[in-house]
Amino acid sequence: MKKKYFSFIALSIFFSACRPNVDFDATGTFEATEIIVSAESNGKLFYLNAEEGTHLTQGEEVGLIDTIQLYLKKLQLEANMKSVDKLRPDIHKQIAATQKQLATAHRERTRVDNLLKANAANRKQLDDWDAQIAVLQSQLEAQISSLTNNTQSLNEQSSSVAIKILQTEDLLNKCHILSPISGTVLAKYAEPGELAAAGKPLFKIADTENIFLRAYVTSSQLEKVKLGEQVKVFADFGNGNQKEYQGTISWIADEAEFTPKTILTEDERANQVYAVKIAVRNDGSIKIGMYGEVKFDQ
């Protein structure tokens, strides 16, 4: 009997040694920032290199949607832009003849005025040149006004075409599927050859390097929890295997909620708890959904 008793004690000590005896203030599960990347344009999906488990960097191109129609539209708009530019009048050249006539009329008036002073010409000749100058001046002003209005109209057409070109270029850029963050692809929803539509999900990616432990604390523990505070986080790998990480409290819920069934709290009688998020730098070992514990007292 004594032999069996000592054997039981030895086994208890052995299993206790296998699992680190870590007191925790709160428990929860690890989660990451997940983004569902959707198509921003319509067309055939040429390729999508976003296999599940693939690590992508922010801004990396992973797919392409058919751009042929948009590219042809851009070429057409650029041709329209050149056509509008050719229609724009050269105001200086088109008023040059009238300006020359006006300058000649001013010289002739001056000559007649001098002759009139010398009694070599009559007053009617001077009046005729004054009338001629007034007509030419009116013609010049009308030409300038007409050409200016025409130029402004063409400038507005050119601006309108330029805006359409920018819109088309934006649509072309949206055909190139980029990774919005650096992270790991969790799910792929489309395959090359399928028709993509604006808003259709293509793949889901998560930032697995910067993850969060969503833990739950009771109202009596709130005084221990402060934003920006450094805490100890323990990832539970099962079978008593734990690993310690440094964490930072990044969010505290402003409303209480009922205690999730899968969560253990320091006070088992607590019916309501507050959720907190603790930012943790992942070394690659922590997986989304893994169980974790946190210790607030350093």
pLDDT digits 0-9 by tens, 192-218: 999 999 999 999 999 999 999 999 988
Q: Which stretches of the chain are assigned E, i.e. beta strand?
A: 26-38, 43-48, 55-56, 61-65, 176-178, 183-188, 195-196, 201-217, 230-236, 242-252, 257-258, 272-281, 291-295
Tokens of 105: 């009329």
Q: Which residue has the higher pLDDT, 152 or 23?
A: 152
φ, ψ for residue 93, nearest 5 deg = -70, -40
Handedness of CA 127, 128, 133, 138 (dihedral sign): positive
pLDDT digits 0-9 by tens, 233-254: 999 888 878 899 999 999 999 8
- Which residue's entry shows tokens 């030409």? 143
In this prediction, residue 264 has a pLDDT band, given cuts at 50, 70 and 90, of low
| DSSP state letter for 265 | B
Give the list of residues 6+ apart from residue 242 with CB closer than 8 angstroms, or none: 19, 20, 22, 234, 235, 236, 293
Where exactly are the structural domains of the chain?
21-66+186-295, 68-173
Q: Is the pLDDT of residue 221 over 60?
A: yes
Tokens of 188: 């792929």
The mean predicted confidence, pLDDT, of the chain is: 86
Q: Which is the CATH superfamily of the domain at 21-66+186-295? A: Efflux pump adaptor protein, beta barrel domain (2.40.30.170)
